[in-house]
Amino acid sequence: MATATNVGKLTFFTYPSCTSCRKAKAWLAENGVNYEERHLFKNPPSVSELLEIAKMTSSGLDELLSTRSQKFKELDMDINDLTVSELLELLSEDPALLKRPILTDGEHLIVGYNQSAMKEFFL
Protein backbone atom coordinates (compact mmCIF):
# COMPACT_ATOMS: atom_id res chain seq x y z
CA MET A 1 0.00 0.00 0.00
CA ALA A 2 1.30 3.43 -0.95
CA THR A 3 1.66 6.18 1.58
CA ALA A 4 1.81 9.90 0.99
CA THR A 5 5.58 9.73 1.32
CA ASN A 6 6.29 6.93 -1.13
CA VAL A 7 3.80 7.86 -3.85
CA GLY A 8 5.33 9.15 -7.07
CA LYS A 9 4.54 12.64 -8.30
CA LEU A 10 0.78 12.90 -8.02
CA THR A 11 -1.14 14.82 -10.68
CA PHE A 12 -4.59 16.05 -9.71
CA PHE A 13 -6.72 16.99 -12.72
CA THR A 14 -9.42 19.24 -11.34
CA TYR A 15 -12.01 21.88 -12.09
CA PRO A 16 -12.55 24.42 -9.27
CA SER A 17 -16.35 24.57 -9.48
CA CYS A 18 -16.69 20.76 -9.40
CA THR A 19 -18.02 19.58 -6.03
CA SER A 20 -16.23 16.22 -6.25
CA CYS A 21 -12.96 18.02 -7.05
CA ARG A 22 -13.34 20.30 -4.03
CA LYS A 23 -14.04 17.30 -1.78
CA ALA A 24 -10.98 15.47 -3.11
CA LYS A 25 -8.80 18.56 -2.71
CA ALA A 26 -9.97 19.01 0.89
CA TRP A 27 -9.28 15.33 1.64
CA LEU A 28 -5.78 15.53 0.14
CA ALA A 29 -5.04 18.67 2.19
CA GLU A 30 -6.38 17.14 5.43
CA ASN A 31 -4.19 14.09 4.91
CA GLY A 32 -1.03 15.95 3.91
CA VAL A 33 -0.84 14.52 0.40
CA ASN A 34 1.30 16.59 -1.98
CA TYR A 35 0.18 16.91 -5.57
CA GLU A 36 0.52 18.96 -8.73
CA GLU A 37 -2.82 20.52 -9.58
CA ARG A 38 -3.84 20.74 -13.23
CA HIS A 39 -6.92 22.73 -14.24
CA LEU A 40 -8.77 20.42 -16.64
CA PHE A 41 -9.92 23.22 -18.91
CA LYS A 42 -6.89 25.53 -18.84
CA ASN A 43 -4.34 22.70 -19.09
CA PRO A 44 -6.19 19.57 -20.29
CA PRO A 45 -4.48 16.21 -20.58
CA SER A 46 -2.96 15.58 -23.99
CA VAL A 47 -3.94 12.62 -26.14
CA SER A 48 -0.80 10.78 -25.03
CA GLU A 49 -1.52 11.54 -21.35
CA LEU A 50 -5.09 10.31 -21.78
CA LEU A 51 -3.81 7.12 -23.39
CA GLU A 52 -1.52 6.51 -20.40
CA ILE A 53 -4.40 7.24 -18.01
CA ALA A 54 -6.71 4.90 -19.95
CA LYS A 55 -4.14 2.10 -19.63
CA MET A 56 -4.53 2.32 -15.83
CA THR A 57 -8.30 1.91 -15.88
CA SER A 58 -10.10 -1.36 -15.33
CA SER A 59 -12.72 -0.67 -18.01
CA GLY A 60 -10.87 1.50 -20.51
CA LEU A 61 -12.14 4.85 -21.71
CA ASP A 62 -15.64 4.15 -20.39
CA GLU A 63 -14.22 4.72 -16.91
CA LEU A 64 -13.10 8.22 -17.92
CA LEU A 65 -16.13 9.31 -19.92
CA SER A 66 -18.72 11.43 -18.12
CA THR A 67 -21.82 10.02 -19.76
CA ARG A 68 -24.12 11.91 -17.37
CA SER A 69 -22.68 15.32 -18.25
CA GLN A 70 -24.69 17.83 -20.23
CA LYS A 71 -21.80 18.08 -22.69
CA PHE A 72 -21.98 14.33 -23.38
CA LYS A 73 -25.75 14.49 -23.86
CA GLU A 74 -25.27 17.31 -26.39
CA LEU A 75 -22.91 15.23 -28.53
CA ASP A 76 -24.52 14.42 -31.82
CA MET A 77 -22.66 11.16 -32.31
CA ASP A 78 -22.44 7.60 -31.12
CA ILE A 79 -19.10 7.36 -29.33
CA ASN A 80 -19.09 3.62 -30.06
CA ASP A 81 -18.54 4.57 -33.72
CA LEU A 82 -15.29 6.37 -32.85
CA THR A 83 -11.87 4.77 -32.90
CA VAL A 84 -9.85 4.92 -29.69
CA SER A 85 -7.67 7.62 -31.27
CA GLU A 86 -10.71 9.70 -32.23
CA LEU A 87 -12.20 9.36 -28.76
CA LEU A 88 -8.90 10.33 -27.09
CA GLU A 89 -8.69 13.37 -29.36
CA LEU A 90 -12.28 14.33 -28.49
CA LEU A 91 -11.61 14.01 -24.75
CA SER A 92 -8.43 16.07 -25.01
CA GLU A 93 -10.18 18.80 -27.01
CA ASP A 94 -13.24 18.84 -24.76
CA PRO A 95 -12.30 17.91 -21.17
CA ALA A 96 -15.89 18.58 -20.06
CA LEU A 97 -16.48 15.02 -21.29
CA LEU A 98 -14.11 13.63 -18.64
CA LYS A 99 -15.17 12.42 -15.22
CA ARG A 100 -13.44 14.39 -12.53
CA PRO A 101 -11.35 14.64 -10.56
CA ILE A 102 -8.62 12.42 -11.95
CA LEU A 103 -5.72 11.53 -9.65
CA THR A 104 -2.70 9.66 -10.93
CA ASP A 105 0.93 9.08 -10.06
CA GLY A 106 1.63 7.41 -13.39
CA GLU A 107 1.04 3.91 -12.01
CA HIS A 108 -2.22 4.22 -10.08
CA LEU A 109 -5.45 5.97 -10.93
CA ILE A 110 -8.48 7.26 -9.06
CA VAL A 111 -11.33 8.69 -11.12
CA GLY A 112 -13.97 10.72 -9.29
CA TYR A 113 -14.08 11.42 -5.59
CA ASN A 114 -13.56 8.01 -4.03
CA GLN A 115 -12.61 8.43 -0.39
CA SER A 116 -12.10 4.71 0.25
CA ALA A 117 -9.73 4.40 -2.73
CA MET A 118 -7.89 7.50 -1.58
CA LYS A 119 -7.52 6.10 1.94
CA GLU A 120 -6.25 2.80 0.57
CA PHE A 121 -3.78 4.48 -1.73
CA PHE A 122 -2.45 7.29 0.47
CA LEU A 123 -2.82 6.14 4.07
Residues marked active site are found at 18
Q: What Cα–Cα distance (Å) separates residue 44 from each residue in 4, 34, 48, 69?
A: 25, 20, 11, 17
Q: Is residue 9 packed enough to be buried (19+ CB in 10 Å), middle (13-18) or exposed (0-12)?
A: exposed
The number of beta carbons lying within 10 Å of the beta carbon of residue 122 is 21
* Number of residues assigned to the chain: 123
CA distance 49 to 29: 25
